[in-house]
Structure 1
Amino acid sequence: MSNTATSTATDSRIDPATLALAAARALTGVLPTGASLTPRLHTTGGFVGATSQAVVATFVGAVSADLAVVLPDVPQLVDEAAEASPVVAVQDVLQPALEAASDTFGAGVLDDARVEDASDLFADRETVVFELAGPSGIAGWFAVRIRQSAADARGPIGSYAGKLGRISNVEMALTVEIGRTRMPVREVLALEPGAVIELDRSAGSPADVLLNGRLIAHGEIVVVDQDYAVRITKILDAAEDLD
């Protein structure tokens, strides 16, 4: 995690509107829109947009927030041979952008993005709504509702255990990653049984252990009672991740 993201969420002098703007800027830097977008505060009264099909996610941590993105022109990739079932869901396409936005809030957990009606969120007076302006006009909208500002946090700033104590009972996804690669969508759609995908990691390299998508440890793959498992070889310093 970068120093910028952490300082944004832990500086008690920063108000929710400033936190929301930092999140909006981080989000637009990752959105797969092709053209560069600029977040501008939406100030023209009642929100008008396709909020019934917004991509939403909730972040819980030192700062808690509800996030929603509306991008009407994001393509829906559909496999017509499988009764129009989605190949790449819009929430999966926008998940990395929402994760980038939530990183500005500091330590915490972002749940999986989902598509639902976000009309109430956009209409809430405590929600900050940004227009996502591009070369051809407004490409979409981003809504952020801060439910607990950093100024309300108890305990000294930088206390990692204090920040995560309130979410100690939240279930999180633990993932072991042996490698990754980037592929154009056309190559993904062309995959068939027997295809080999080359990863960016050599044989024998340690696997990454991720907690809700955040790297926390390294390990090696082992077999326990005919099931795959991971033996932890190194725990990354969580306190350093907050610096």
Structure 2
Amino acid sequence: MSNILTLQAAAAERLALHLPSASTLRVAGIVPAQDATAYASPAVTATFVGASTADFALLLVDRSFLAAAGGSGLVGAVSAVDVLRPALEQAASAFDAGVLGELREEDAAGLLSDPGTAVFELRDAHQANDGGAPFAWFAVRVRDNGGTLNTARAGQDSDVAARLGLISSVEMALTVEIGRTRMSVRDALALEPGRVIELDRSAGAPADVLLNGRLIAHGEVVVVDQDYAVRITRILDGAEGTL
């Protein structure tokens, strides 16, 4: 399997693992693009930009799970792009450092017609390959920014560095996260002063440091001149930051 196809398959596997479906999903394999053509619109699309550029399109057969994932009983009451963004960010993490752009709902026929696009079929893990319609299709196209993905990733040297240097002064959001939890829209709307929200982290555990939503380090919260600050205790490598 080529390096490009390996990256495409890894993105599909991560997406299947993190889609907020009630059933466990698996990647059933690569299928011809025409299998998904009937569902090309509307698709949820996004572009990832890093050392490589990747175009994604998620084509859902049944969107009913989006309402439950968003905490609403009504289909269309919540935005598909908001519900699906965390899963697509996980898919993008297969491509190392970079930024996932805005998610859109649009026709994906152009992406599906590109011979460089790999289309992966996602199915219920307990469903046979010929057991009815799949859950979704995930289309991935990789553009290597003029370089080559068939060399080791460590070999992407001065050319990539020079291009990234063009955006070295761009401001990015650095966030410190002490914990998180999940709640439905109904529970979020019921919040009021004095309400205690329990997080998924014990007292004293390190805080996560995220750059544009990507985990890059761990640290501890301190107070400096009456302001909160974070002392970095560990810088993560690329593989750890994808977890």
CA contact (8 A) 1:55 1:114 kept: yes
> Any stretches of 5+ residues in structure 2 without a counterpart?
none
1:43 is displaced (CA, Å) by 1.8
CA distance in 2, matches of 1:165, 1:154: 20
Percent of aligned positions that are identical: 41
Pairing partner for 1:146 from 120, 136, 142: 142
Superposition deviation, residue 119 in structure 1: 2.5
What TM-score do you get using the length of structure 1 for normalisation?
Answer: 0.71
Deviations 1:119-162 (A, max 9, x none): 22122222111222332421111110111189716997436985
Deviations 1:197-217 (A, max 9, x none): 112335565532201322223
Report the counterpart of residue 109 of structure 1 in structure 2. Answer: 99
Find the counterpart in structure 2 of residue 7 from structure 1: none
- Per the TM alignment, residue 74 of structure 1 is displaced from its structure 2 partner at its CA by 2.7
The CA deviation string for residues 2-28 of structure 1, in whole angstroms up to 9 with x for no partner, is xxxxxxxxxxx8342332222212211
Question: 1:66-77 maps to which residues of 2 (within 5 A)?
Answer: 66-75=55-64, 76-77=66-67
- Normalising by structure 2, report the TM-score: 0.71
Deviations 1:54-82 (A, max 9, x none): 222211223221111111423343899xx
The residue type equivalent to 2:5 in the other structure is A
Letter in 2 for 1:22: A
Q: Does the 8 Å CA contact 2:216/2:241 hold for their aligned counterparts?
A: no
Deviates more, 1:233-242 or 1:150-159: 150-159
Aligned-residue offset at 1:113: 2.9
Aligned positions of 1:27-176 closer than 5 A: 27-35=15-23, 36-43=25-32, 45=34, 47-75=36-64, 76-77=66-67, 88-134=78-124, 135=127, 136-148=132-144, 152=148, 157-158=153-154, 166-168=163-165, 169=167, 172-176=172-176
Equivalent pairs counted in the alignment come to 225
- Structure 1 portions without partners, runs of 5+: 1-12
Cα separation, 2, equivalents of 1:157 and 1:79? 41
* Structure 1 residues 146 and 156: alpha-carbon distance in aligned structure 2, compared to 1, 3 A threshold: closer
Provide the secondary structure at the position in 2 that maps to 1:49. Answer: helix
What is the root-mean-square deviation in Å for CA atoms of aligned residues?
A: 3.9
